[in-house]
C-alpha cells in the first residue's frame, strides 16, 4: 500500500512517523526520536501519500495544501505540500501514544494506579465535565478514550472530531467528523456545526476529541445546558488549559467578551486531568485538578486533588463542601487516603524491622 514505508507503519513499536525530505525520515519509538536509514525519491513520497489519502476520501492540492485524515488502522495522517512547504511533500503519521482502551489498560502500562483509576471512574460516573490536557504525544486522546469507557451503560455518547480517533467502548455511540469543502468551495462541515447538530441527537454525554478554536464556545454553551461533556486540549498545565479554553471562544466574534468566557469556563468545567510524558518517554496522568466555582481577581485557578511527585502520587486535602457535585469523589478519596496511610505505616514497620 505504501511501498518503502509499509514496514514502519506496521511496526507496533513505532509511535509516530514523519518525513521532512527524501533523506530525512524520522520515527518516534518509546517517546524518543530516531532518524531512519531510508531514502525515498520525492515522487515515491508523493505516491505513498496519495495512496494513504485515497482510503480516507480526503484530498490535498494547491487549493487545499494541507489535510488531516485517518488510516485504516486508526492512525492520524497530516500532510502539507509546496508551496506551503519549501520543496517537498511532508508527512506525519501519528499512531496511538498508548495502546489502551480502558482505565485497567492504563494501570497495566503504569500510566496510573488502581486508586487513581477508581477516582477517575467516579468522576466520570458523577457526570462531571472533564477537560483532558497535555502536550503533544502526552497520551491525551488515549486517556480521554479510556474515560469514555467508564460511562454508564445507559449513556448515549456523541463524539465530535476533526478526524476519527476515539473508539470508546460505549454501546450507544455516534461518531461525527468534520469534512473539507469540495473543489467548488462548498460542503465544508466544521466542528462548530457538528456541536450544534449533536445537540439535536439526544445525547446524554458530549465529547470533542480536541478543542482548538471557536468550537470551545459551542462546547461551553452545551455544557451550560446540562449535558455532561469531556474534551481534550493542548496545554502545559491544568491552569493553562483553563486559560486556553477561556481564550478560544473569543475567536467566535467581537460580541463574545472575556468576562463572559471566564465565567462560562469557571461554571462549566469541573475537573482537569493533565497528562505528561517525561524525558524517558514514559506517559502518565500527572495531575487531577478541581476548578473552584469562584474567580479570584478575575483569574481562573485550579485546586490540585492528585499530583505525581517523582515516584508516587501525592493527595491534597480538599474542602469538598465547595464542590457539591463531587460528593461521591470524597468517599472514594477517603478510601485512597486510608490505603496510602496503610502503605506508609507498612513501609515504616519494614524499615524499623
DSSP 237-252: SHHHHHHHHHHGGGGG
Name which residue leads in pLDDT, 169 or 158.
158
Mean pLDDT on 62-67: 90
Q: Is residue 351 part of a domain?
A: no
Do 208 and 328 sit in the same domain of this protein? yes
Would residue 347 count as lying in a domain? no
pLDDT tens, residue by residue, 196-225: 999 999 999 999 999 999 999 999 999 999
In a domain, 346, yes or no: no
Q: Predicted confidence band at 321 (pLDDT cuts at 50, 70, 90)?
A: confident
The total number of structural domains in the chain stands at: 2
- Taking CA atoms, 30 is separated from 34, 79, 282, in Å, by 10, 23, 8
Which of 94, 115, 150 is at the close of a domain? Answer: 94
Residue 351 has pLDDT above 60, yes or no: no
> What one-character-per-residue DSSP string does 154-190 give?
T-EEEEEESS-------SEEEEEE-B---TTS---B-
Over residues 140-150, the mean pLDDT reads: 95
Domain boundary among 45, 61, 94: 94
Whether residue 143 sits in one domain with residue 22: no
DSSP annotation of 316 reads -
Residue 287 falls inside a structural domain:
yes
254: cell is 467581537
Mean pLDDT estimate for the chain:
90
**Most confident of the following: 40-54, 84-98, 232-246:** 232-246
342 by Cβ neighbours in 10 Å (0-12 / 13-18 / 19+) ranks as exposed
Residue where a domain stops, chosen among 57, 74, 94: 94
Domain identity same for 336 and 204:
yes
Higher pLDDT among residues 34 and 347, named by residue: 34
Q: What is the pTM of this model?
A: 0.87
- The confidence score (pLDDT) of residue 55 equals 85
Residues 52 and 169 in one domain: no
Structural domain contains residue 51:
yes
The CATH number of whichever domain residue 146 belongs to comes to 3.40.50.300
What's the rounded mean pLDDT across residues 49-73? 89
Does 269 map to a domain? Answer: yes
DSSP state of 322: G
Structure-model confidence comparison of residues 74 and 309, the more confident one: 309
Sign of CA dihedral 111, 115, 116, 122: positive
Q: What is the pLDDT of residue 346?
A: 58
pLDDT at 73: 83
Residues 104-122, mean pLDDT to the nearest whole number = 92
**Which band of pLDDT confidence, cut at 50, 70 and 90, is reported for residue 338?**
low
Q: Same structural domain for residues 70 and 159?
A: no
Residue 64 belongs to a domain: yes
- Domain that includes residue 38, residue range: 3-94
- Do 326 and 211 sit in the same domain of this protein? yes
pLDDT tens for residues 230-263?
999 999 999 999 999 999 999 998 899 999 999 9
Range 189-200 average pLDDT = 96
Structure confidence at residue 233 (pLDDT)? 98
Q: Exposed/middle/buried for 343, CB within 10 Å: 0-12, 13-18, 19+?
A: exposed
Amino acid at each position: 500500500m505504501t511501498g518503502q514505508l509499509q514496514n514502519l507503519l506496521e511496526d507496533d513499536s513505532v509511535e509516530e512517523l514523519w518525513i521532512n525530505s527524501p533523506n530525512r525520515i524520522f520515527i518516534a519509538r518509546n517517546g524518543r526520536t530516531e532518524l531512519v536509514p531510508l531514502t525515498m525519491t520525492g515522487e515515491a513520497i508523493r505516491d505513498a501519500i496519495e495512496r494513504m489519502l485515497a482510503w480516507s476520501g480526503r484530498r490535498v492540492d494547491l487549493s487545499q495544501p494541507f489535510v488531516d485524515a485517518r488510516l485504516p488502522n486508526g492512525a492520524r495522517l497530516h500532510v502539507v505540500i509546496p508551496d506551503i512547504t519549501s520543496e517537498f511533500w511532508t508527512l506525519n503519521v501519528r499512531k496511538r501514544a498508548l495502546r489502551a482502551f480502558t482505565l485497567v489498560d492504563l494501570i497495566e502500562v503504569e500510566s496510573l494506579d488502581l486508586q487513581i483509576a477508581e477516582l477517575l471512574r467516579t468522576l466520570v460516573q458523577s457526570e462531571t465535565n472533564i477537560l483532558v490536557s497535555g502536550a503533544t504525544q502526552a497520551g491525551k486522546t488515549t486517556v480521554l478514550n479510556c474515560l469514555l469507557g467508564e460511562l454508564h451503560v445507559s449513556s448515549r455518547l456523541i463524539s465530535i472530531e476533526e478526524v476519527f480517533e476515539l473508539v470508546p467502548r460505549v454501546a450507544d455511540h455516534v461518531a461525527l467528523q468534520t469534512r473539507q469543502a469540495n473543489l467548488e468551495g462548498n460542503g465544508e462541515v466544521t466542528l462548530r456545526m457538528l456541536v450544534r447538530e449533536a445537540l439535536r441527537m439526544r445525547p446524554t454525554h458530549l465529547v470533542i476529541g480536541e478543542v482548538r478554536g471557536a468550537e470551545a464556545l459551542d462546547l461551553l454553551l452545551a455544557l451550560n445546558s446540562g449535558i455532561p461533556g469531556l474534551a481534550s486540549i493542548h496545554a502545559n498545565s491544568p491552569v493553562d488549559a483553563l486559560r486556553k479554553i477561556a481564550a478560544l471562544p473569543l475567536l467566535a466574534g467581537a460580541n463574545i467578551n472575556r468576562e463572559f468566557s471566564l465565567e462560562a469556563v469557571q461554571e462549566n468545567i469541573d475537573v482537569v486531568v493533565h497528562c505528561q510524558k517525561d524525558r524517558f518517554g514514559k506517559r502518565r496522568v500527572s495531575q487531577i485538578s478541581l476548578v473552584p466555582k469562584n474567580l479570584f481577581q478575575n483569574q481562573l485557578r485550579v485546586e490540585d486533588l492528585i499530583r505525581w511527585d517523582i515516584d508516587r502520587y501525592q493527595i491534597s486535602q480538599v474542602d469538598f463542601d465547595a464542590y457539591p457535585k463531587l460528593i461521591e469523589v470524597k468517599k472514594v478519596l477517603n478510601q485512597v487516603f486510608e490505603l496510602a496511610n496503610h502503605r506508609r505505616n507498612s513501609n515504616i514497620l519494614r524499615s524499623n524491622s
